[in-house]
Amino acid sequence: MLRQRAPLDETLERLAARHEEAGPRDRALARAIATVALRRLGTIRLGLKRFLERGLPRNAGLLEAILIGGAAQLLFLDVPDHAAVDLAVRQARADKRAFPYAKLVNAVLRRVAGARAEILAAGEAPRIDTPDWLHRRWVAAYGEAIADAIAAANRHEAAVDISVKDDLPGWAETLGAHILPTGSLRLPQRVPVPDLPGYAEGAWWVQDAAAALPARFIAPKAGERVIDLCAAPGGKTAQLAAAGASVLAVDRSPERLERLAGNMRRLSLAVEALAADALALDVPPADAVLLDAPCSATGTLRRHPDVAWTKREDDIASLAQLQAQLIDKAASLVRPGGRLVYCTCSLEPEEGERQVAAFLDRHRDFTRLPVAAEEIGGLAQFITADGDLRTLPHALPGAEPRLSGLDGFYAARLVRASS
Ligand SMILES: C[S@@+](CC[C@H](N)C(=O)[O-])C[C@H]1O[C@@H](n2cnc3c(N)ncnc32)[C@H](O)[C@@H]1O
C-alpha cells in the first residue's frame, strides 16, 4: 500500500480474493494489523529506526513491510511477542529478496519488544503519526493546538455511525446506540454491521455523523428534482431520496454506482442511477444539485488511516483544479432560484473554504445561503463566520475516544438568482 499508494480497503479486498483459504479470523487479524500499522506508522518507524543502525538495506523486497507489520503487533496489538516475531521471520523467509534478512528481522523485532515502553513514550506526541507536510498544513489552517488535537483524534479508531430512515428513538433503543445531537446514531459496540437488526430490511445505513450533514442543507420538498453529482456509494443519495426528492445519482465509476444501486435496493429507495462523467453530463437543470466532490479525504483519517500515507501534498492542488471544474459544471445544472450544496471530506481550505470563495467570485449569480445552527442540532461551533459547515475530527467529545469525534467535513449552500 505504501509503495503503490493503494487504498487499504481495496487492497484487503484484493488480497482476500487471492487467499480464499484465509478464514474470517485471519482476515480480521490482517485488517487489524494493517490498520494499526498505518494509524501509528510514525511511532513504528521511530521504533524500528533505533535498531536499524545502518538503515534499511536496499532491494530487500518486503522487508520493510514485514518489520512494520511485526512492530505493529508488538507495540499495539494483543498478540504474543513470540507469535508476532515468528510470523515476521516466516514472512521474510518466504520472500526471495527479504530471505537474507530473516535473522535481522528476528533480532530487530525482539529488541522492539524489549523496548516497548520507551518506543511508546517516544511516540507520545500525536503529531508523530501524522506526515509532516499534513501537520504543517493543519497548523497553517487551524493553529498548532487544533492541529495537535486533530492528530490525537486520528490515533483512535472511529465508532460506527448510522443514519435512520425514521423512528430515531426506536432504532436507538433496538440497537443500543447513542443519539448524537446531529441526529445520527452512534454504536458503542464493535459488531459486524450486517448482523444488526434493521440492516437487512433497510431501515438504516452506515454514515459518519459529519457526512450526514451536507445533504440536509438541500432540504428538498417532496418531488423536487435533485442531482447528486458524485453519488456513490450513496449515503447522501439515500438521505435525499428518503426526504422525498426525485434523485438522479451520477458517478463516474460503474463499480461504485453498482454498490449505490445495491444500497438503494436494500433501503427500498427509488433513484435514477447514471454512470457518467459529471463534467460531460447533459441533463436539464434541477431544483438542487449536491456536489460531494472527490477530494484528498484528509478529514477521514480516523476511518481511513491509509490516506495520510498514500496521498501527497501535490495531490491537493490537482484535486482542487478538478473540484473547480466540477463546481462550475454543477452550477450550470441548477435552475434559476435553485440550490447548490458543495462539500468535501477534506480539512484542506483549498478544497473547501477557498474553493467556494473562488466560485462566488466567478459566479455573480450565486450567493451563499448560510447554514443555521438548528439545521445541525444546534452545534453553532461547526459554522464558520461565512455561514458554512466546518467540522473537525476532534470535536464532539464522547465518553471515550472511540465514541468521540466525527469526520472533518466542509459544506457550503449556495443559491442561484431567480433570473
Ligand atoms: C466523496 S465520494 C462520494 C461519496 C458519496 N456522495 C456518498 O455520500 O456516499 C466521490 C465520488 O466521486 C466520483 N467521481 C469522481 N470524479 C467524478 C466525475 N468526474 N464525475 C462523476 N463522478 C466522479 C467517485 O467515483 C466517487 O464515488
Q: Rounded to the nearest 5°, which phi and psi values hold at 414?
A: -125, 150
The answer to whether 159 is annotated as binding is no
* Nearest Cα residue to atom 12 of ligand 1: 230
295 labelled catalytic: no
Write down how long the chain is: 419
Does the Cβ of 251 fall within 6 Å of ligand 1?
yes
List alpha helices for 77-124, DSSP H.
Answer: 81-94, 102-114, 116-122
Instruction: Choose the catalytic residue: 75, 345, 392, 396.
Output: 345
Neighbour-count burial of 132, counting CB atoms closer than 10 A to its CB (0-12 exposed, 13-18 middle, 19+ buried)? exposed
Substitution candidate for ligand 1 out of 227, 252, 329, 409 with most atoms within 8 A of CB:
252
Gap from CA of 152 to ligand 1 centroid (Å): 28
Q: At what angle do helices 24-39 and 8-18 cross, to 10 degrees?
A: 150
For residues 50 and 119, the answer to whether their CB atoms sit within 8 Å is yes
For residue 231, report the distance from its CA to the centre of ligand 1, in Å: 5
CA of 62 to the centre of ligand 1 (A): 33
Query: Is the Cβ atom of 227 under 6 angstroms away from ligand 1?
Result: no
Residue 251 Cα to ligand 1 midpoint, Å, equals 6
Instruction: Return the pLDDT at 190.
Output: 87
User: What is the per-residue pLDDT for 123?
Assistant: 82
| Residue of the CA atom closest to atom 25 of ligand 1 | 253
Which has the closest alpha carbon to 366: 324, 412, 323, 403? 412
Whole-number Å distance, alpha carbon 153 to ligand 1 midpoint, is 26
What are the CA-CA distances from residue 320 to residues 87, 140, 315, 348 (Å)?
Answer: 43, 18, 8, 10
ipTM (interface pTM): 0.99
| 331 known member of a binding site | no
- DSSP class per residue in 326-384: HHHHHHHTEEEEEEEEEEES---GGGTHHHHHHHHHH-TTEEE-PPPGGGGTT-GGGB-
Q: Which of 226, 251, 258, 325 to mutate to test the pocket of ligand 1 (most atoms within 8 A of CB)?
A: 251
Whole-number pLDDT of residue 131: 97
* Residue pair 357/384 in contact by the 8 Å Cβ criterion: no
pLDDT one-digit tens code per residue, 74-96:
999 999 999 999 999 999 999 99
Label residue 240 exposed, middle or buried (CB < 10 Å: 0-12, 13-18, 19+): buried
Pocket test for ligand 1, best of 161, 206, 226, 230 (most atoms within 8 A of CB): 230
The DSSP annotation for 305-322 comes to THHHHH--HHHHHHHHHH
Pick out the chain residues at pLDDT < 50: none
Q: Residue 174's CB: how many other CB atoms inside 10 A?
A: 15
H runs (alpha helix) in 123-190: 132-142, 144-154, 168-175
Residue found under cell 505504501: 2
Which atom belonging to ligand 1 lies closest to the Cα atom of 231?
Answer: 6
Per-residue model confidence (pLDDT) at position 419: 75
Nearest residue (CA) to ligand 1, atom 15: 294
Q: Which amino acid appears at position 96 of this protein?
A: K
CA-CA-CA-CA torsion sign (132, 133, 135, 140): positive
List pLDDT tens digits, range 265-312.
Answer: 999 999 999 999 999 999 999 999 999 999 999 999 999 999 999 999
**292 annotated ligand-binding residue:** yes
Burial 361-394 (b: 16+ CB within 10 A, else e): eebeebeeebbeeebbbebeebbeeeebbbbbbb
Instruction: Say what the pLDDT of residue 61 is.
Output: 94
pTM of the entire predicted model? 0.96
Question: Looking at the DSSP assignment, which residues form a beta bridge with residue 274?
Answer: 250
DSSP helix/strand/coil, 277: coil
Residue 195 one-letter amino acid: D
324 is in an annotated binding site: no
Ligand 1 centre from 280 Cα, in Å? 14
